[in-house]
Amino acid sequence: MSKNIGDYSFRNCDFLATERLQPTLNATANSSCEISDNWEIVLPVTRSRLAKFYSHDLFSFLVDAFGICLRVRFSENIADELQDPKRKILLLPNEDNTNISISSNQSGAFYIVAERDSIIIVGKTERGCAQGVYHLEDEMRLCGTASVPTENTEHAPLFSPRMTHSGFELDTFSDEFLSAAAHAGMDSIMVFTGHPDMNTHGFEDPDALWGGTGRGYCDFNHLVWRAEGYGLDVYLYSHVKCDVYPDDEGAEAYYEAAFGTFFKKCPAIKGIIFVGECFEFPSKDPNTCGIRCQLRPAGDKRPSPGFYPSSDYPKMIERVKKTIRAYNPTADIVFWTYNWGWAPKDARLSLIRSLPRDISLLVTFEMWEYLKDSRGETYRIADYSISFPGPSQVFVDEAEAAKECGIRLYAMSNTGGRTWDMGSAPYLPVPQQWKKRYDQLRLSREKYGLCGLMENHHYGWMPSFIDLFAKNAFSTNSTADGELLEKIAKRDWGDSYESALDAWQEFSNGMAQVVAADVDQYGPYRCGPAYPLLFTQTQKELTFPSVPWANHPGFGIWRPIYAGKVFPNADDTLMRLRHVSDVYFCFERGVEILKSAADEKSGSQAEQIGVADYIRCCYKTAMHVMQWHIAKHLLLTPESDKPQDTVNKLLSALSLPSCDKRTLANYMHAVADRETDNVIYALNLQGQDSRLGFEASMEYVFNSEIAEWKNSTTAWSLELLDEEIDKQ
């Protein structure tokens, strides 16, 4: 990762760049098939861009990693090559070329025969062959030598599609990013769009479905062509307005002008994703207000159609399906139930049972679940979180209904390494916690036929050491999770690998304590050290420095006014403070373990420490925000609204002797001082790794300019606090 060269410098990095590799503690296990410079890479004569990419990718990897320069040869007679495979890496992108049969129907499946002096990779398709190449590279990275274990095995993805948004920049996919996604085992990318040839990244669009979102030109045919060169499909994520009822007069022409235009222009788009909040229509279900949320009448308390399992959604699905499949008969129509997990079970399942059978149902894996902590206090998983591995009861109910109906089932799984538990870190280094989710996803595949994953939402994905762990977990005939995690630790941390495993376990223990509440996920968890300590300021008085082209500029997707209710709901406030304190101290312990174990010469170790340390700072901010918030309410809430027993519990949590105004003010000054120091510390980390503080839909929510805003806002709040005390 580039150091100290400013914001966005991560975009100037080759995510898969391989420096000269040295043997790791895993090396002895891979000594049986050694590649040397008298080998060659052989594949059939082809005009395929993907075949040329993966063959040259392997060539470049061996050159960069080991200084081994192999000849790449395209052969017109593969049968002869198979008769004499010695000192060859044969890449055969079609099982018909050999007598090897691949049982899986997945296009990403491959069969590998690695013997002492030859390697044969047979793909179900070219994409499978590509994954076989990446498998070889993964094995060599793990051991640090140009060798792989002997094997005679089929490998296939357990899930397809594996979809990702861009973490590089919203709706923007560099070649390096596409390559990294393919190497990580993902097979599809997603692009937000509300207009033909437009994505939602760009300049403000007054006609956008969601106000404030931008619109920028996107040549979808070119994007599909580029993605195909890396073995990736393209899905649209619909922000298209749907303001005509599906069987009203003119509906056919209306939806032809919208969805038909997309797929007529670009029939190779793999599919389209519809979610309630972005796929509203004038529903006639009396349980809804009958109009999308942007136009909802102020006096109507009923939910808008996208936030309820409206009984006439099947009509809408049939309308758009018919329109789209006129141009692409195999287009994947994905219907996501995200917005109405709160609704009665009967209404949700009734909708699913009424859906067309030839679409895909997407269900969020962990949301809407109520949990109890070690003290028996209840809290809810509000939005995307790895704190609860899943599945939620909502997922189970809807998955069972999908299985009963024979509808293809996908999960919004948040397995791309990051969640809304921390919005501005590139990944969450909690592999033991991720493993729990992998276990449950594999079990859901067996129980309900779960077959596809949406791995992240608008925050996207960035490469990390978690990627290989996930790809392995989502493949047949893979290494046991624990064994692979130890190999990754040995690869990255050498003799200190046990310390790395201990640190990751601390991080995982901490993440399991996160309370995924709205007030924090749309608060300090979203923007980390940028979150302000406010006194009496209103949102209108605040101007958050952000770039105008962000999809969610300013406070677009987070709330700067911390909304936790101290009175009368003190128990909930104290529960969240207790949990976030536990999370913080787990990350503090884990970071100290990594720092003690680190080799100062290792850039990889420094990067991992920096990410974990930044996350520690984020949770420290959240802890300070809650402490400040409690003290502020003790200070400003009228005495008549503060029951003494509640006051005593709050004072105890802050280790304060009394509710004296000056005592509270001094405490708030101390919290503000600690937080200002925390911001300065986090900014130093951000200066070393430009991924920190960045989230694709918001752009930067923490950098030097924002740190200055945060600290000046804190100073302003202290001035207001002192003025309040002086009045008394």
DSSP states of 74-87 as a string? Answer: EES-HHHHHHS-TT
pLDDT at residue 211, as a whole number: 65
Run of H or E residues at 411: strand 408-412
Question: Is 252 within the bounds of a domain?
Answer: yes
Give the per-residue pLDDT at 196. 77
Using the predicted structure, report yes or no on whether residue 206 has a pLDDT greater than 90: no
In this structure, are 557 and 463 located in the same domain? no
3-class secondary-structure state, position 601? coil
Note the pLDDT of residue 630. Answer: 97
Q: Is 79 exposed, middle or buried (0-12, 13-18, 19+ CB in 10 A)?
A: exposed
- Local confidence band at 76 (pLDDT 50, 70, 90 cut-offs): very high
414: Cβ contacts below 8 Å, ≥ 6 apart: 365, 366, 384, 385, 386, 437, 455, 456
For residue 494, tell me if it sits in a domain: no
Residues 509-516 have a mean pLDDT of: 97
The last residue of one of the domains, among 155, 172, 195, is 155
- Name the residue among 670, 418, 716 with its Cα closest to residue 560: 716
Q: Work out the pLDDT band at 2, boundaries 50, 70, 90.
A: very low
The answer on pLDDT for 552 being more than 70 is yes
* 526 within some domain: yes
Do 593 and 468 reside in the same domain of the chain? no
Q: Are 90 and 187 found together in one domain?
A: no
Nearest to 53 by CA among 112, 146, 130: 130
pLDDT at 1: 43
- Of 2 and 378, the structure prediction assigns the larger pLDDT to 378
Looking at per-residue pLDDT, the higher value among 126 and 602 belongs to 126
Answer with the one of 155, 178, 204 that is the final residue of a domain: 155
Given a contact cutoff of 8 angstroms between Cβ atoms, the answer to whether 567 and 637 are in contact is yes
Residue 311, number of CB atoms within 10 A of its CB: 17
In the numeric block, which tokens belong to residue 529?
Answer: 């050290």
Interval 278-289 mean pLDDT: 96
Quote the pLDDT of residue 32. Answer: 85
299 and 444 belong to one structural domain: yes
| Confidence check: pLDDT of 619 > 70 | yes
| 325 shares a domain with 473 | yes
C-alpha distances in angstroms, 256 versus 218, 235, 281, 316, 319? 20, 19, 15, 13, 10
Domain assignment of residue 59, yes or no: yes
The H-assigned helical ranges of 355-496 are: 393-405, 431-448, 466-473, 481-493
Query: On the CB side of 333, how many CA atoms lie within 13 Å of its CA?
Result: 24
The residue segments making up the domain with residue 22 are: 9-155
Closest among 273, 279, 127 to 190, alpha carbons compared: 273
- pLDDT of 457-473, one tens digit each? 988 999 999 999 999 99
Q: Are 394 and 477 found together in one domain? A: yes
The CB density around residue 723, as the number of other CB atoms within 10 Å, is: 11
> Does the residue 1 lie in any domain?
no
What is the CA 238 to chain-centroid distance, rounded? 19
107, 136, 155 - which closes a domain: 155
Count of structural domains, the chain: 3
Highest mean pLDDT (candidates 9-18, 153-162, 196-205): 153-162
pLDDT of residue 34 exceeding 50: yes
Is pLDDT at 3 greater than 70 in this prediction?
A: no
For range 177-206, the mean pLDDT: 87
Of 272, 250, 262, the closest CA to residue 161 belongs to 272
Helix/strand/coil for 469: helix
Q: How many CB atoms lie within 10 A of CB 442?
A: 16
Q: Which contiguous run of DSSP H or E holds residue 636? A: helix 603-636
**3 state DSSP class of 199:** strand
Instruction: Give domain status of residue 647, yes or no.
Output: yes
Is there a single domain that holds both residue 377 and residue 516?
Answer: no
Predicted confidence (pLDDT) per residue in 149-160, tens digit: 999 999 999 999
* pLDDT tens, residue by residue, 324-338: 999 999 999 999 999
Domain shared by 51 and 166, yes or no: no
Quick check: 702 pLDDT over 60?
A: yes
State whether 94 and 150 are in the same domain. yes
Instruction: For residue 500, tell me if it sits in a domain.
Output: no
Q: Tell me, what CATH number does 103's domain have? A: 3.30.379.10
Task: Please tell me the distance from the alpha carbon of residue 289 to that of residue 299, in angstroms, as a whole number.
Answer: 10
Regarding whether 474 and 427 lie in a shared domain, the answer is yes
Q: What is the pLDDT of residue 463?
A: 95
- The CATH code of the domain that includes 182 is 3.20.20.60
Residue 501, domain member (yes or no):
no
**Residue 282 and residue 393 in one domain:** yes
Identify the pLDDT of residue 5. 66
Q: What's the mean pLDDT in 184-191? A: 97
Rg of the chain over Cα atoms, rounded to whole angstroms, equals 27
Alpha helices in 266-344 (DSSP H): 313-325
Asked if pLDDT for residue 422 goes beyond 70, the answer is: yes
Q: H-type helices in 109-230, by residue range? A: 126-143, 175-183, 220-228
187 shares its domain with 318: yes
- For residue 305, the model assigns a pLDDT of 97
Please state, in angstroms and as integers, the Cα–Cα distance from residue 228 to each residue in 49, 164, 196, 224, 671, following that order. 8, 15, 20, 6, 52
Residues 487, 139: Cα–Cα separation, whole Å: 10
Q: What is the per-residue pLDDT for 533?
A: 98
User: Which one, of 606, 492, 470, lies nearest residue 181 by Cα?
Assistant: 470
Q: How many distinct helices (H) and strands (E) make up the chain?
A: 21, 22
Q: Is the per-residue pLDDT at 247 higher than 70? A: yes
Burial class (CB in 10 A: 0-12, 13-18, 19+), 17: exposed
Can you point out the beta strands (E) in 97-209? 110-115, 118-123, 147-148, 151-155, 162-164, 188-193, 198-204
